[in-house]
């Protein structure tokens, strides 16, 4: 344990030096819910939207839209749209975009889609523009009440939810029928057959909850001790891989029997194997949203507004929901699906009841200032290597 304590001290010194060298940002991600308090956003601009025309460039996560929506949007709006699936990790995407955004350059992107904590971080750094609500009437009218007023963006000044979801357990119920808690993943009989997500705010809070720690009240020491446990599980080979959503291929093949994963993955993976199921952990799940943002330097905010408003039409959103199988942020989708696909309309992973999510919490970040949050993040990145 002493070596780990020394490592923490060294990482904290590195974080403090990095902060002193650059007051603009931390070097490697993180911070929603903690730190990054240096900007009051008094000079944040509102994205101007005139006549929507020309071209539009969107960066989003893989497999997060149906095959027809972009084509239909182009046909109806006349806006040439480049839709790129280049967001595979919030932290990695930040590392790629930060050098551009710090210079007021979006790399040609008009919309980027990132998770709650990263959206907050980007805004606090001055990299995201406020929204002109008059340009997105469908969003104003159809956004579900539960997502209208998040603590990190009260009133949705700068963000529009793309989809929401739950982080919990994804299980091959025929191969691991007894997995009901995150701690069940650490049973020796499943050594080398389980995976966890490489997003710290997904994996570590679920591990803390399984050990009786309330993630919403967790201290820095709670985070660090759980990361120590996580590192030991990686080193021992209990955890096969720390991964994105590509674990579903291993699960379909039987190489992985259970994982910390995302709710929508489970539904999509059932097309390959009906035994792949989402299991709500006994100690609860993490709730999150991925959000559309207009970055500084966006060349065509008018087209961005047009697209945001387009996908908030219930009939358009219903097609997206049918494909991605995540929690839809748009009111009016369920009645459409009740007619088209009653099974989806009654699926708790898409339209969860209060009872189903009673023990769940909104995605959390480590407490503390910028340097303290960075220390935790660096410890997690180090532990991923075993």
**Could you write out the DSSP letters of every residue in 151-199?**
TTSTT-SS-EEEEEEEEEEEEETTT-TT--SGGGGG-GGGTTSEEEES-
- For residues 132 and 158, membership in a common domain is answered with yes
Q: Is the pLDDT of residue 284 over 60?
A: yes
Please report whether residue 67 resides in a domain.
yes
Residue 355, both tokens: 């009872």
Please report whether residue 18 resides in a domain.
no
Please report whether residue 296 resides in a domain.
yes
Please report whether residue 33 resides in a domain.
no
Domain end residue (candidates: 320, 336, 352): 336
Is residue 380 helix, strand or coil? helix
- For residues 203 and 269, membership in a common domain is answered with yes
Please report whether residue 199 resides in a domain.
yes
Provide the domain count of the chain: 2
The whole domain housing 138 covers 55-162+289-336
- For residues 177 and 154, membership in a common domain is answered with no
Please report whether residue 13 resides in a domain.
no
Per-residue pLDDT band at 230 (split at 50, 70, 90): very high
Whole-prediction pTM: 0.85
- For residues 155 and 296, membership in a common domain is answered with yes
What is the mean pLDDT of the segment spanning 140-163?
Answer: 97
Beta bridge partners of 262: 167
Q: Mean pLDDT over all residues of the chain?
A: 90
- For residues 321 and 379, membership in a common domain is answered with no
Model pLDDT for residues 50-75, shown as the tens digit of each residue: 889 999 999 999 999 999 999 999 99
In this prediction, residue 17 carries a pLDDT of 36
Per-residue pLDDT band at 42 (split at 50, 70, 90): low
Contact 329, 143 (CB under 8 A): yes
How much of the chain, in percent, has pLDDT values that exceed 70?
89
- For residues 84 and 156, membership in a common domain is answered with yes
In this prediction, residue 15 carries a pLDDT of 39
Residue 301, both tokens: 């905010």
Q: Please report which helix (H) or strand (E) contains residue 82, including its range.
A: strand 80-84
Query: 10 Å Cβ neighbour count for 321?
Result: 28
Q: Please report which helix (H) or strand (E) contains residue 75, including its range.
A: helix 69-77
- For residues 276 and 298, membership in a common domain is answered with no
- For residues 142 and 92, membership in a common domain is answered with yes
Q: Is the pLDDT of residue 8 over 70?
A: no
Q: Is the pLDDT of residue 23 over 70?
A: no
Tell me which residue of 224, 239, 249 sits closest to 182, measured CA to CA: 239
Domain end residue (candidates: 300, 320, 336): 336
CA distance 206 to 362: 12
Residue 101, both tokens: 């955004």
In this prediction, residue 246 carries a pLDDT of 84
Please report whether residue 17 resides in a domain.
no
What is the mean pLDDT of the segment spanning 330-355?
Answer: 96
* 69-77 helix and 301-311 helix, angle to the nearest 10 degrees: 120
Half-sphere exposure of 58 (CA within 13 A, CB side): 25
- For residues 268 and 183, membership in a common domain is answered with yes
- For residues 294 and 216, membership in a common domain is answered with no
- For residues 265 and 369, membership in a common domain is answered with yes
Q: Is the pLDDT of residue 235 over 90?
A: yes
Residue 217, both tokens: 């009240």
Look up the CATH number of the domain holding residue 124: 3.40.190.10
Please report whether residue 29 resides in a domain.
no
In this prediction, residue 44 carries a pLDDT of 83
- For residues 379 and 257, membership in a common domain is answered with yes
Tell me which residue of 193, 198, 200, 205 sits closest to 168, measured CA to CA: 205
In this prediction, residue 39 carries a pLDDT of 47
In this prediction, residue 370 carries a pLDDT of 86
Q: Is the pLDDT of residue 20 over 90?
A: no
């Amino acid at each position: 344990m002493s070596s780990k304590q020394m490592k923490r001290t060294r990482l904290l010194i590195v974080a403090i030096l990095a902060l002193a060298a650059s007051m603009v940002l931390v070097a490697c991600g993180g911070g929603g819910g903690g730190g990054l308090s240096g900007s009051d956003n008094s000079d944040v601009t509102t994205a101007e939207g005139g006549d929507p025309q020309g071209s539009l460039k969107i960066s989003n996560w893989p497999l997060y839209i149906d095959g027809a929506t972009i084509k239909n949007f182009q046909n109806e709006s006349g806006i040439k749209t480049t839709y790129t699936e280049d967001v595979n990790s919030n932290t990695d995407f930040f590392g790629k975009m930060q050098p551009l955004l710090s210079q007021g350059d979006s790399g040609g992107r008009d919309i980027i889609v990132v998770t709650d904590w990263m959206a907050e971080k980007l805004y606090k750094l001055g990299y995201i523009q406020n929204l002109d609500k008059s340009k997105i009437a469908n969003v104003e009218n159809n956004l579900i009440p539960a997502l209208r007023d998040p603590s990190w963006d009260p009133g949705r000044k700068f963000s529009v939810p793309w989809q929401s979801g739950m982080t919990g357990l994804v299980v091959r119920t025929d191969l691991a029928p007894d997995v009901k808690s995150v701690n069940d993943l650490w049973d020796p009989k499943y050594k080398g057959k389980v995976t966890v997500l490489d997003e710290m705010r997904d994996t570590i809070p679920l591990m803390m909850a399984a050990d009786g720690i309330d993630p919403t009240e967790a201290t820095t020491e709670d985070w660090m001790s759980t990361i120590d446990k996580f590192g030991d599980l990686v080193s021992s080979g209990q955890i096969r891989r720390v991964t994105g959503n590509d674990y579903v291929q291993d699960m379909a093949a039987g190489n992985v029997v259970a994982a910390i994963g995302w709710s929508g993955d489970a539904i999509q993976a059932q097309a390959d194997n009906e035994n792949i199921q989402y299991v709500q952990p006994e100690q609860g799940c993490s709730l999150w949203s991925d959000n559309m943002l207009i970055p500084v330097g966006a060349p065509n905010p008018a087209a961005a507004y047009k697209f945001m408003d387009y996908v908030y039409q219930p009939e358009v959103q219903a097609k997206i929901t049918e494909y991605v199988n995540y929690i839809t942020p748009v009111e009016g989708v369920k009645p459409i699906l009740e007619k088209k696909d009653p099974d989806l309309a009654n699926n708790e992973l898409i339209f969860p009841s209060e009872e189903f999510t009673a023990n769940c919490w909104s995605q959390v970040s480590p407490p503390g200032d910028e340097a303290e949050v960075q220390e935790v993040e660096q410890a997690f990145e180090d532990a991923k290597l075993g």
